[in-house]
Every structure is written in C-alpha cells, then in structure tokens.
Structure 1
Amino acid sequence: MGELFGTDGVRGEANQDITAELAFKLGKAGAHYLTDGKEAKVLIGKDTRVSGDMLEAALVAGITSLGFDVIKVGVVPTPVVAYLTRKLDVAAGVMISASHNPACDNGIKFFDQDGFKLSDQDEDEIEDVFFNQLDELPVLAGDKVGMAKSVDGYVKEYIDYIQTTVDNSFAGLKIVVDTANGAACEVSPQVLSQLGAKVVLLNDTPTGTNINVESGSTHPEVVQEAVVERGADLGIAHDGDADRVIAVDEKGQLVDGDYILAICSRQLIKEGKLADNKVVATKYSNLGLHQSLEEVDGEVVVTKNGDRYVLAKMQEKGYNLGGEKSGHIIFLDYNTTGDGLLTALQLIDVVQKTGQPLSKLRQQMEELPQLLVNVEVESKAWEANKKIQEAITEVEKTLEGEGRIFVRASGTEPVIRIMVEGQNKNQLEELANDVAEVVKKELN
C-alpha cells in the first residue's frame, strides 16, 4: 500500500481527505495508466452518499480532460460496476463508495478492463503518475476533450445475467432485505422479486446521509428481528455498496460469511463444481469452517486478511470460491469481485435445491468460540520480541489440534490484537490474557 491507496482503493472523509481536487487528479492518473494513453472509455458508478455527486463530477472532469469519454451508470452496487466493466467496451471502471463506512466518508476504487480490482503494482503505478507525471500529461485543445454520458439501461444487463446463475425459482419464499439505504436499494429487491420471492424491504430510502446508519450488514440485528416478526424464511443484509451480505435464518440466527462459505462449498462439492474441493478464506475465518470442509473431503486455503488477497490466491491456483467472515464472498465463476446479491442468490438456491430451511443448513458448521484482546502499546515491534514469541509458542502448544492464536498489529491504531480460538472459552480467556500481559510489559 502506498500513500493514496489502502486495502480497498482510496478512502477517507469526503471533502477533507477525499477532496474534489484529489478526485480530479486521481481521475487523470487512473485513466492515463489504465487506458495506456489510448482512445478509450471509462465507466463510473457510485453509491448513495451525498458526496458522490461531487466526486463523480471531479473524476469526470479529470478523465475527460485527457480526451477519454465517460459512461455514468449512476447509483449501482460495486459488483455491477465490475460486471459492466468487463462486459462493455471500456478500458476501466471506477466505483465511488466507502462501502460499510459512515456517510461522512467516501472512496474511489478502480477496476481494470477485465473487471478485477487493481493489483498492488497497478496502484503503485497510478500513484507514480499522480505524484510525478501529471504535469507531463498532454493539455488538449477545447474540441478534443472527452464527453460524459449518463446511461441507465446497462444495469438491466446485470439484472438479467445474475438471475441465470441460479437453477431454481424462489417462489414461496418470504425474504427480508435490508439494503442499508445504499446502492442495492433498487437492484436487490428487483432481482429477488423477479425470481418469485415475496420481498420485505428495510432501509431502502436513501437520503445521502443515512447510508449504513443502524442498518445493513454492520447492524444485522435489524434483519434478525424483522425475520422473526414477519415470519420470513430468511433475511439478507447488504452493506452500502452491496459487495457484502450477511444472512439470517428463519429463527433469527446469523449466517455470516463463514457459514455461507461452508453451506455453498459443501453443496458445490456434492455437485462436483468446487475447484479442487478447496475454498479460500482469511486468517479471521473460524476454525469451524475448516472442520466443516474436512467432513466432506474439502479444504480451506488460508490467506491474509483482505478480499484482494483472497482473489489473488484464487486466480493463482484456479479456485472458484473464496471470501471473508464479513460476508465479502467471491464466486469467480460468475463475477470478478465480492457480490452481495450474487452470494445471496447462491445461498438461497441451496435452500431451494435441498428443500431444507436455512437453520438446518447452518448446522453444517459449528462455530468455535473466539476471543479478541486489544493491547495498547508504545511500540508495535512484537514479531522481533523473543519473550512475546515464546508466549505465543506456549499457547500454540496448548491449543495444538484444537485451536489457534493469531497476533497482529493494528494498521490504524497503536494496538496489538490477540485473537485466540478453541473449544473452551474459559481457557481461551486465560491464554489470551497471559499473552496480553507479556505484550503489555514488553512493548510499553
């Protein structure tokens, strides 16, 4: 990660960190690099944040100033931008969104012409243009600049396509949908209704400032209550840009990304459709997922945290399913990025194929207890500290075969995070506190 790009694009407080000036320059730098300076078009989408219009206008100005045309598809989920970028004759896609962050934040993320998020190397190249080459880019004569065109009809292509990814009608199902007052407000209920489901909509009236506010995948308790109250078969909750989904069974129990991966991968193994019988997940996924896959001769391939690293491992090894506990799931047979609606459809299709309620399917995985302890420190040099490493090794020996310990430094705070997982919650608390005491003593 460089000065601009973080784990998922460029993100920060709108008009403070992410200003119109920055968006203008980033639009120029990104378009110049991703089009390779050749005549091309760039597609732009956004979520429902009030700052989206401002940043869109600045991006358009930067891109068109270099002579490139822009297709504006308006408010759409991030996975729609990814899908349309690879389907249309465009050189790149741009999504304006800060995902599950509050409305005061916004962000800009790029997709290449194949609909994939950029690699670390690509982002470094764009940063080099941004910081070192903007003054060298050509200044075009007035009639040589690009044009911007708003288009609504392209979204229908995604809506039509995504319905072909499931085998069954959803007729007879009542589904609660929380769109977090975000980008999925129209697309998600429309697709589910067209597949035959009766949809109960929550938080589908965006104001520009209410995105993710006590709603969506970061507040699944809203859907949990609604599913039980309305007697629904299940519920789904998106985040602001709908690249994630958290589900709820008919009893109001959470079905997070780990459960979704377990349910869908086991079904794919049964059908002979899971590549190499392996699914990619991060270190934060519960050990229960590993145990669930082992029961059916499957395997979890572990990568570091972040959907970009999940995708990189999938592409490297040819795997077709991976994701995170947060509900950011990638079905690479159907789309190139996490897609909350696509994930929901695949999960619901398993319900229809098996004839089992989601609560029954949820039992395919037993979640092991996890405990997270945060230790404030003056130094983050835990990896080179002998006593800390010895304490971690002792815990690993204690939990061997029945649990694990995962330690990392926060990327945003002066904190060391200690996560332990295993069968006995009381034991986990004791072990985590033992390591925490050593960390506290050694790094302060």
Structure 2
Amino acid sequence: MSKLMTSVSGVRGIFGDTLTPPVVQKYVASFAAMQKKTFGKGRIIIGRDSRTTGLAMMHNIASTIMSIGLDVTDLGVVSTPTVLLAVEESDAIGGIAITASHNPPQWNAMKFVDQDGMFLAPDKAARFLQDVDQPVTWADWQSVGSMNTDFDAIQRHIDKVLNIPYLNVEAIRKQRIKVVLDSVNGAGGLISPVLLKALGCTVVGINSEPTGVFAHPAEPLNHNLTQLEDAVKAHSADIGFATDPDVDRLSIVDEHGRCIGEELSVVLAQCFVLPKKRGDIVVNLSTSMLSEDIAAKYGVKVHRSKVGEINVGKKMQEILSPIGGEGNGGIICPEVHYTRDAPAGMALILGLLAESGKTVSELVQELPKYYFAKDKLELNPSDMDGAMAKVPTILQGYRIDTQDGIKGTKDKHWIHIRKSGTEPIIRVYVESESQACSDQLCRQTIAKLKP
C-alpha cells in the first residue's frame, strides 16, 4: 500500500488504496467543522480537475460538507486557480480543489482553501491535520446543508485576466499570435483556449479533451513535452504553452520548437510586469538566480520564501509585491489573485511578446545564462529522515539556509535539498553557470542521499 500524503499542500493518495471514501470523509468533515466553528454557517465552494475519480470524490465531499450543516457550490471541472478565485470573490467560507496536480492519473487529492481564497496558511493547516481524528458534530434533519452549481466561474476567471490593468489586450490581438496549447487532458482544455482566443490568438490544441487520461506524464517538464515541441514546429507557431492537469503551472516552448525550461516562465513574467509596476519580487528558495538579475535591472529586491505557493503568496501580500511565483512554472499575478495561475501567466507572456516585438528565443537570449538541474529520489517513507540526515555533510562548506529543507550556496551555484510535501520523495535542485556542472552536482547529490 502507498502512503497517504498529508501536508500544507493538502491530502493526496492513490484512489481506492490510501485515498478511500472513508478517508476523504474524515478529512473533509474535519475541515468543514473547522470552517464552521471559525466563520459560522456558510458555504464551501468545490471544483475538480478532469481525473476519472473526480466525480466520485466530488459527491463524497459534497455530501460530507452538507452533513456538517454547510452549503456547497459545485463549479464542475475547473482549474485550481478558478476555485481559489471563486472563493475569494464570494461570501464562501472556504473551498476544496479536488486535484492531485501533476501526479499520475491513479492519484487524487484535496487542497483546502481558506475564506480569503488562498490555501490554508501553514499554522492553520498544521492545526487542521492535528485535529483530524477529533469527533465532529453532524447536522440533524433541520440543519443539513444544501447544494447548488455555478458553471460561470471559468468565464469570470477569464474576465479577471483580461482586465489586468497594465495588460494591453488590443496590442496582443493585433499580433495574431499562433499558439500551440497542450492541456495534457486536464482542466486546462476548458479555460486556456477560450482565454487565448479572446486575446486574438490562433490556437492549435493538443491533448485538449478533459478526459483525465493523460497523454503523457502530467508534470510540464521539458522531457515530457516532445509532442508539444514537434507540434510547434509542424504548425510554424510563435509559441507553445503547456499546463499541468489543474492549470497552475505553465511551461513554454519557443518558436523553434524548443522547451525553454519551466523556471523561465516566472522570469519572463517579471520582465513584463516590472517596467509597468515596480516593486520587490517574491520567489521561493528553489527559483532561479535570474530573479536577482531581473530585480537588479529595475532597482528592486528579491525576497525568497519557503517552497509552496501559500508561502510565496503570503509574502507577496505582506510587501505588496507586483509579481512573483515559483520556478516550477507557477506565476502569481496579484492583479488576478495571490495564487499560481497558468492562464494569467499566458496573458503576461503574450503581453511581453506583443510589446517587445521579439520572439521567445530572442527574449531568452537576452537573459543571463544559468543552468538548472533537478531530480528526485523515491524512497520508502521510513528512509526519508535518514536520507535528510546526510544533507549537512553533503553541503559542508556551503552557506546554509534551513528555511525550507536545506539550501547550500557558493559563488555562482547552489544546491537545494528538501522533502516533498506531496510524495515520499526527496527533491534536489541545482543551479550553476554550466549545464554540465549542474547535472554533475545533481547526480552526485542524489547518489550521496541513497540508502
């Protein structure tokens, strides 16, 4: 049996194995009871990605929430940022996004959303998980909740993106940009092409049907996007976009059919936003050193947070940052909301193309060159702590940051080692001035971590 993963990122597992209906009910009941105790009677908004188990999960979750005495609004198959935005812009007291993000199709998960439309803050998430086995009070026949649907949330999300104040929609439309879009059979097929067409793009869709049977591994990494690369070349497109199943991560393919690397998505967004709205950048510890170069160009600073979009988003709120995100393709545009949002990211990148008059490859060529390597070590859950105990020795002689896992920095390179919050794996991130150096450091680090 696989391990049920519980963390600030939510609760996820393999459906029918560790993520069973009773397990789902236990966590949902605890969350609903917590929100009811904090905010009183209200409603919870739920939405799901396209996974084949999503409908069953939705019915289980909805009936549990109603049985606690709260109302439910179901958005249907939508992106995770659509769920978050719907909560933020309503009177709801919380939300649940039913998605296992980039995990394989046999997985599913619940991401719990607070009343402000952001994921639970780490301290509240910890209290929630600590109390999950406490008994709850079920509603009686007079106080059971009700359920309705809201299938307009996607359009409201699109409208919010189109109304970003500094986004020149007409300038983008005049360019008639040709885009190949890979939605990996996730929820993106229901929002991304609609947004792109509203921006005047010619859209060539691949893997657009939201079947939940992913055409390739769902994480939008370079080696998973060969089909998109080929399609960009075959259609002589200006750009290719790839998203993960819940549409909060964005990867880019240039006009020559080459993946530019997901870590450049947030960097290009910074290049577009900062000339229009100056302010400090917030990124996580594993995001490229390029952010420091971009920030220096515009006379602002970089603040680095723990990995996890809630940590980045909260810091952005605190300092009123105009742009931020994570190096995994997660772009946070506060003009839409303080959460990772691939459709918003697409609009920013298209705005950069339209206003600069440059191609993707030309924009990338202008950036300083750093080279990323990342890998993961899959372990038995019982071996995780032993592997992490080796890290101080592995990084001996580095400047150490223990804000999130352990990050070691030397001149012009760094190594970041951390336990995943969603899977029984250890992630290793490396960046340096040469691909050979980054690859070698990554391989050596993985080898030293193995039992």
- Length-normalised TM-score, structure 1: 0.86
Corresponding position of 1:380: 388
Residue 216 of structure 2 aligns to which amino acid in structure 1?
Answer: V
Contact 1:392 1:435 in 2 (8 A): no
Q: CA shift at 1:32, angstroms? A: 1.5
Return the alpha-carbon distance in structure 1 between the equivalents of residues 108 and 437 of structure 2: 41
What one-letter code is carried by the residue in structure 2 that aligns with 1:211? F
2:193 corresponds to 1:189: yes
Does residue 156 of structure 1 match 2:149?
no
How far the C-alpha of 1:408 sits from its partner, in A, is: 4.6
Call closer, same or farther: CA 1:177–1:390 in 2, change over 3 Å. Answer: closer
Q: Does 1:204 align with 2:185?
A: no
Tell me the amino acid that sits aligned with residue 433 of structure 2: Q
Q: Find the counterpart in structure 1 of residue 70 from structure 2.
A: 68
1:111 corresponds in structure 2 to: 113
Q: Which moved more, 1:376-385 or 1:236-245?
A: 376-385
CA distance in 1, matches of 2:128, 2:418: 29
Q: Is the 8 A contact 1:383 1:389 kept in 2?
A: yes
How far apart are residue 431 of structure 1 and its match? 6.5
Post-superposition offset of 1:72: 0.6
Q: Which amino acid aligns with 1:382?
A: K
Q: Pick one of 352, 355, 360 that aligns with 1:350.
A: 352
The SS at the match of 2:352 is: helix
2:274–2:322 CA contact under 8 A, matched in 1: no
* 1:193-342 equivalences in 2 (<5 Å): 193-208=197-212, 210-211=213-214, 213-214=216-217, 217-218=220-221, 219-271=224-276, 273-275=277-279, 278-342=280-344
Deviation at 1:406, TM superposition (A): 3.6
Aligned to 1:100: 102
Separation in 2, partners of 1:301, 1:100:
26
1:401 corresponds in structure 2 to 411
Kindly provide the CA deviation profile for residues 76-115 of structure 1, in whole angstroms up to 9, marking residues without a partner as x.
0001101111112211111100011111000001111211
**Partner of residue 181 from structure 2, selected from 177, 183, 189:** 177
Structure 1 residues 301 and 254, CA gap change in structure 2 (3 angstroms)? farther
> CA 1:78–1:45 in structure 2 vs 1: closer, same or farther (change >3 Å)?
same
Larger Rg over CA atoms? 1
Contact 2:42 2:70 in 1 (8 A): yes
Select which of 355, 365, 388 maps to 2:367: 365
Task: Check 1:284–1:148 CA distance in 2 against 1; reply closer, same or farther (3 A cut).
Answer: same
Match runs of 1:18-167 below 5 Å: 18-35=19-36, 36=38, 38-134=40-136, 137=137, 139-165=138-164, 166-167=167-168
In structure 2, the CA distance between the partners of 1:94 and 1:304, relative to structure 1 (3 Å rule), is: same
Q: How far, CA to CA, are the matches of 1:54 and 1:324 in structure 2? A: 31
Q: Distance in 1 between matches of 2:154 and 2:428?
A: 43
Deviation of residue 61 (structure 1)? 1.2
Q: Kindly tell me: are residues 408 and 238 of structure 1, through their superposed partners in 2, closer, same or farther at Cα, counting changes over 3 Å?
A: closer
Quote the RMSD (CA, aligned, Å). 3.0
In 2, distance between residues paired with 1:212 and 1:205? 10
Give, in angstroms, the shift of residue 252 of structure 1: 1.8
| Number of positions where the alignment pairs a residue of Structure 1 with one of Structure 2 | 426
The answer to whether the 8 Å contact 1:282/1:310 transfers is: yes
Secondary structure of the equivalent of 2:189? coil
Moved more, 164-173 or 345-354: 164-173
Question: Contact 1:26 / 1:62 at 8 angstroms: preserved in 2?
Answer: no
CA-CA distance at 1:158 after TM superposition? 2.0
Contact 1:176 1:223 in 2 (8 A): yes
Q: Identity over aligned residues, as a percent?
A: 25
| Cα distance in 2, alignment partners of residues 436 and 49 from structure 1 | 32
Whether the 8 Å CA contact 1:47–1:96 is kept in 2: the answer is yes
Give 1:56's aligned amino acid. Answer: M
Whether contact under 8 Å (1:420, 1:432) holds in the other structure is yes
Q: CA deviation at 1:257?
A: 4.1
Counterpart CA distance in 2 for 1:68 and 1:421 is: 47
Residues 199, 285 of structure 1: alpha-carbon distance in 2 compared, 3 angstrom cutoff: same
CA distance in 1, matches of 2:438, 2:217: 31
Q: Could you tell me which amino acid in structure 2 is paired with residue 270 of structure 1? A: P
**Cα distance in 2 for residues equivalent to 1:436 and 1:153:** 46
Question: 1:6 is matched with which residue?
Answer: 7
Stretch moving more, 352-361 or 296-305: 296-305
1:224, 1:235 within 8 Å by CA — same for their partners in 2? yes
Q: Distance in 2 between matches of 1:187 and 1:372?
A: 30
Structure 1 unaligned blocks of 5 or more: none
Structure 2: give runs of 5+ residues left out of the alignment.
401-407
Q: Per the alignment, do residues 334 and 434 of structure 1 end up closer, same or farther by CA in structure 2, a change over 3 Å counting? A: closer
Tell me whether 367-376 or 355-364 shows the greater mean CA deviation. Answer: 367-376
More moved, 158-167 vs 227-236? 158-167
Please list the CA deviations of residues 223-272 of structure 1 after superposition, one character each: whole Å capped at 9, or x if unmatched.
2211111011111111000011111121223234432322222332322x
Q: What is the Cα deviation at residue 220 of structure 1?
A: 2.4
Q: Equivalents in 2 of 1:422, 1:179: separation in Å?
A: 31
The DSSP-based 3-state class of the residue aligned with 1:142 is: coil
TM-superposed deviation, 1:52: 0.7
SS in 2 for 1:255: coil
Deviation track 1:161-185 (CA, whole Å, cap 9, x = no partner) reads 2211232233311111111111111
Shift of 1:62: 0.9
